[in-house]
Amino acid sequence: MNAIVVADRNWAIGRDNCLLFSLPTDMKHFRAMTLNGTVLMGRKTLESFPGGDPLPRRRNIVITRCKTFARDGVEVVHCCKEAMTAVEDADPDTVWVIGGGSVYTCTLSQCKRVFLTQVDTLTEGADTFFPNLDRLPNWKQVSVSESMEENGLSFRFMEYENTAL
Ligand SMILES: NC(=O)c1ccc[n+]([C@@H]2O[C@H](COP(=O)([O-])OP(=O)(O)OC[C@H]3O[C@@H](n4cnc5c(N)ncnc54)[C@H](OP(=O)(O)O)[C@@H]3O)[C@@H](O)[C@H]2O)c1
C-alpha cells in the first residue's frame, strides 16, 4: 500500500476541508498513479470532492465511524483495521491512501511508499498536516524530480520509502 499527497514545505495539506493548491500537473499525476486501483480515504475527504462523489474508475473505500453512512459507488469501513482487511487481497502497489490527515496518520505504518508532491511554499492558516517524514526514523527519501512551475508555484515529485516494511 502507498500514500499519495501534495503538501507544502511544512507538510501542510488542507484548510477548511479543501486542498491548499490547484496544480493541474499534479492532478494528472495523481490520476495516472491511482487509476484502476483502490483509493482509501476519510469521510471528510470524500465530502470534499465535487458533489461528494467517489473517484471514477477506481475502487473507493471510505472510513467513517458512522454506522449508517452509505454512498453509491463507495465501500464503507468503520476503522483502519477493517480498511486493511478490505484491501488485503489487492495488489499492494495498486492500493492508495489518498487522505486526509487522520487517515494518512492511522495508515502510515502500513504504507511502503509515500509519493509526495512538495510545493515550495509555506501556507498561512493550514489546519491539516501530513506527518513529517524527515523526522520519522523509518522513512527515507529515495527520489526527487526536477522542480516544475505552475500557477506561480514551484513543486517537485518526491518518493519516500518505509524501511520498516
Ligand atoms: N493535500 C492532499 O494531498 C490531501 C489529500 C486528501 C485530503 N486533503 C485535505 O485534508 C483535509 C481532510 O483531512 P481530515 O483529517 O480533516 O479528514 P479525513 O481524514 O479526510 O476524514 C476524517 C474522517 O474520517 C473518518 N475516520 C478517520 N479515521 C478513522 C478511524 N480510525 N476510524 C473510523 N473513522 C475514521 C471519520 O469520519 P466520521 O466523522 O464520518 O466518523 C473522520 O471524521 C481536507 O482539508 C482535505 O482537502 C489533502
Where exactly are the structural domains of the chain? 2-162
CA distance 68 to 57: 25
pLDDT in tens, 54-81: 999 999 999 999 999 999 999 999 999 9
Q: Can you give the pLDDT at residue 115?
A: 98
Q: Residue 19's beta-bridge partner residues? A: 14
Q: What percent of the chain has pLDDT over 70?
A: 100
pLDDT of the residue at 129: 98
| Best mutation site among 65, 105, 111 for ligand 1 pocket (most ligand atoms within 8 Å of CB) | 65
Question: In the structure grid, which three cell numbers stand for residue 153, read together?
Answer: 508555484
Using DSSP's 3-state secondary structure scheme, residue 160 falls into strand
Look at residue 119 in the predicted model and tell me its pLDDT: 98
Please, which pLDDT band fits residue 1 given cuts at 50, 70 and 90? very high
Task: Name the residue of 4, 10, 45 to mutate for ligand 1: max ligand atoms within 8 A of Cβ.
Answer: 45
**Beta strand ranges found along the chain (DSSP E):** 2-8, 12-15, 18-19, 38-42, 59-63, 74-77, 95-97, 113-119, 128-129, 139-144, 148-150, 153-162
Q: Report how far ligand 1's centroid is from the alpha carbon of 144 (Å).
A: 27
Atom 10 of ligand 1, residue of closest alpha carbon = 100
Q: pLDDT tens, 31-56?
A: 999 999 999 999 999 999 999 999 99
Domain 2-162 class?
Answer: alpha beta
Instruction: Tell me the mean pLDDT in the region 144-159.
Output: 97
> Mean of the per-residue pLDDT values for the chain?
97
Residues 6+ apart with CB under 8 A from 160: 113, 114, 116, 133, 139, 140, 141, 142
